[in-house]
Structure formats: structure tokens, C-alpha cells
Amino acid sequence: MEHESDGITDNIIRSEINEDHISKLPNDVLRQILSLHPLNSGSKAVALLRRLLKETSIITVKTEDIESAIGDILVKFDEKKPMKNPTKFEFHLSNDLIMTASLGLNQKLHLDFSKGHDQEEIPTPFWLDILLNTMDFALSLSYSLSVKTLKLTSVNYLTVKTLKLTSVNYLSCDFVSSLISKFRYVESLIIEKCEGPWALSVEGLANLKSLRVLDCDDIELVFLKAWELDSLWYSGPLCRFCLESTMHLRDVKLDIKGPGISDYHLSCMLYNPLLRAIRDVSVLTLHGWMVKDIFAPLLSSKQDFNFSQLEDLWWIDSCMEDDNINCLFGFLNFCTSLKRMFISIDKRSYLSPSELLSPTKVQKGRLRHLKVVKMEGFEKEEDIIGFKEHLMQVFNVEPRIVEVRKGMQGRYLLRFPKRQAINKKAQSNKLKFCYKFVEEVEDNTGLCSKHPHMP
């Protein structure tokens, strides 16, 4: 009986220990606990952290006072103790504009204008003008600011290195342009889900390294002037690109799914500056239709042009029929340093109505550095085998061919010779090849890793 009593007591004590008292505490108390508690110390701490991150502080402020309000939340944010103060704010501005500001680690600020925006509203044209890292920054502070605001603006806005803008529209574009001109040392700028028709102008003369324009409908123009920019990602319809002083691009993703809203976008001469700007990239994503309709006519007239630094190419196409293969091989002729190629077949990709192109004369050995071709979306094994044989025949190279299927282990294509008599009268045998798909083992060389642009 004594042992049974001890067992009951142990169960009661264990039940009290397992009962969750911490999560019942008020958010203010939780925030103080997590400000002292290591964030990576357990799943319960992570769950509490997520609960606090969902909490939003609602603030009503005049539009002209928003700079001071943003500066105030930045000065209170502590990278070492991020839960010490709220990290998500909803600003209700005087012109019925709602802005959600979210603070994150690594000096990241997200400004979101999607809340309260009427999605059924007829889009109104606007121009988003972003001026970053200007040398005359001190002059921009000369208008009547209080000492406190000046201190916050000149010190704490400098700490923002990653700035993300979501759902900017014609109502908020002027406000955004004025606000973010105070962010002097932004290194990464992300703009997403803006509704147009609209145009974007970004000038970052000192520190801007990365620009991403993602999932923006009806955009007509991207004007970019940034000396130190090395990464440009664009996802959306075809638009005009005006690139100035972009001499250091190394990482470019042009996820352009189809033509833009105006016919003049298909005038290939408009994209000569874009072609020059991506000449020295080392990582590149392109859709096959764009190369066929835009770049191929330009490349056909450039005898000395090469993507001499390109090592990783991700090619997205609707299929790999003869027309599209010829376009790809014609483009590969300019990729003399290519090491890894990733081909994705996406049936949703735009199918170009262009006639069969005569590919540029291909020189054998141009792809002598190519080590692996990773292929996904191919329905038949025969199509992969045929692509490999065509690649060997045209370029005289035999890279490792890897097939990728969603939810399945990758497979690589193994080739081996087989001797077979042609007929009874033949005195010699003809050498033929057999192919077999073998499950891919862990790759320690890094050759079969995902393309840097893949999600």
C-alpha cells in the first residue's frame, strides 16, 4: 500500500510539472521571460515566440509623424533581446492608409500596405520612386525636425539593411518614396505584390547589393541605377528594363512568364541594355520563350559575345521539343564556363508562337566545363535519354544527367556500351549504347545541389 501511495503522489507531481502555466501568462510577462531566455532552447520557447510574433500593436498616427514613429520603434528594438518590445505594429494613418511594420533580426524591416486595401478597386497608374543611400542625406534632414526626430532618423534608420515593401499602390507610393529615402544603408530591397499599371525607379548609389521585384502584376518599367548591385531577381510579366551603372551583377533571375501588357515589349532592341547587364553573371535563371523571342535575335549579331563567367544556368521551358532544344543549344554556345545546368519543364510556361529558329553555329567543346545537368518535369525517360544523346552529339560532352521528381529520390542516367551484330554478313560489330536510371546517392561534390534560385 505504501508503494501504491508513492506512485499516486509521483503521478500528481508529474502532472503538475507537465501542466503548462507559462503560456497562460500575459504577453508582457512572456516578452520579459523570452528576452532573458535563449530562443533556441526548446520547442516550447519557439511556440511562445510565435505567439508573440502574431501580436500586433495598433497605433493611430498622422502621416507627417510616421517617420518619427518608425524611428521610435527602431530605437527600441534590441537585436540581442528581440522580444523585449513588440515587433509588429499596425499604423492607421490620417489619409485612411493602413501600414503594417514588422521588425526582424539581421536589421530587417517589412512595410506591408495590403491590409485595408480594396482588391476590387480599379488599379490606378503610379510611379514608385525609391532613392536610397544618397550622398546628400544630411541635406534631406534640414527641414523642420525636432532634435529627437533628427536623432532617431540620422542614427536608427541607418540600422535597416533589409527593407521589404508589400502591396504598395497609388495611394501609398508617394508616402513610401518619402519615407524610405531616410534609409541610408539599405543593402537588400524586396518589393512584392504591387498592383499597377505602374513603374519602378530605384537609385542606390552606395550600398544596395540586392533587388528583388516579385509577383508584381502589370508593371511596365524597371529603372535601376546602382553601382554595387550584384543580385537582381525579377518575377512577373515582361516589362522594359532601363539599367544604368550596373557593372557588378553576378546573380540574376528573370522569371518572366510571358509578354507584358503592351506589344512594344516584344521589340528585341529594347532589351540590348539588359543583355549587356547580365553578360558577366555567374548565376542565371531564364525562360526559354524569352531567349527565343528577345535574346536570340540579339545574340545572332554578336560574334564576340560570351557569358564568360556563367557557371549555373536554370532554364525553364514549356517542353523540350526540337524547336526549344535548338534555342537552348544556341544559347549554350555562348556559355563557355558553364558547370551546372538545371532544366525545368513547366506546362504553364508561355509557349512562344515563333517559327523554328536556326541556331547559331555550335562549336564542339564549348561546354567542356559542364559537369551536371539536372532535369525535372520530363514525363518520359526516352526524352531524357534523347536529350543526353543530342547533347553529346552537338557539344561532344557527357555531363552527369540527374532526373528529379517531386517526392521521389533523384536518379542519374547511366550509359554503358553494348555490342550487337548488324547482320550475318557483317564482319564487324556496331557499338551501341544502353541506358539505365540509377537511384542517386548523396552527392558530396555539390554538383547535384539545387540551383541557387530554386525555392
- How far apart CA 187 and CA 108 sit, in angstroms, is 10
pTM exceeds 0.85, yes or no: no
Q: How far apart are CA 1 and CA 290, in angstroms?
A: 82
Query: How is residue 91 written as a grid cell?
Result: 499604423
pLDDT tens for the chain, 455 residues long, are: 445 555 555 554 444 444 545 555 555 555 555 555 554 544 455 555 555 445 678 888 888 888 888 888 888 887 777 667 778 899 998 878 899 999 888 889 999 998 866 656 677 899 999 988 654 443 333 333 333 333 344 444 557 899 999 999 988 999 899 888 888 889 999 999 998 789 999 998 778 999 999 999 889 999 999 889 999 999 998 999 999 888 889 999 999 988 865 555 567 888 999 999 999 999 999 999 999 989 988 888 887 899 999 999 999 999 998 889 989 999 999 999 999 999 999 988 888 776 545 455 666 778 999 999 999 999 899 999 999 999 998 999 999 999 998 878 889 999 887 665 444 444 444 446 789 999 876 665 566 788 999 88
3-state SS of 185-208 is: CCCEEEEECCCCCEEEEEEECCCC
Is residue 223 within a helix (H) or strand (E), and if so which, with residue range?
A: strand 219-225
Contacts of 25 (CB under 8 A, 6+ apart): 33
Torsion from C-alpha of 145, 151, 155, 161, nearest 10 degrees: -50
**No. of H helices and E strands in the chain?**
12, 20
CA 201 to chain centre: 19
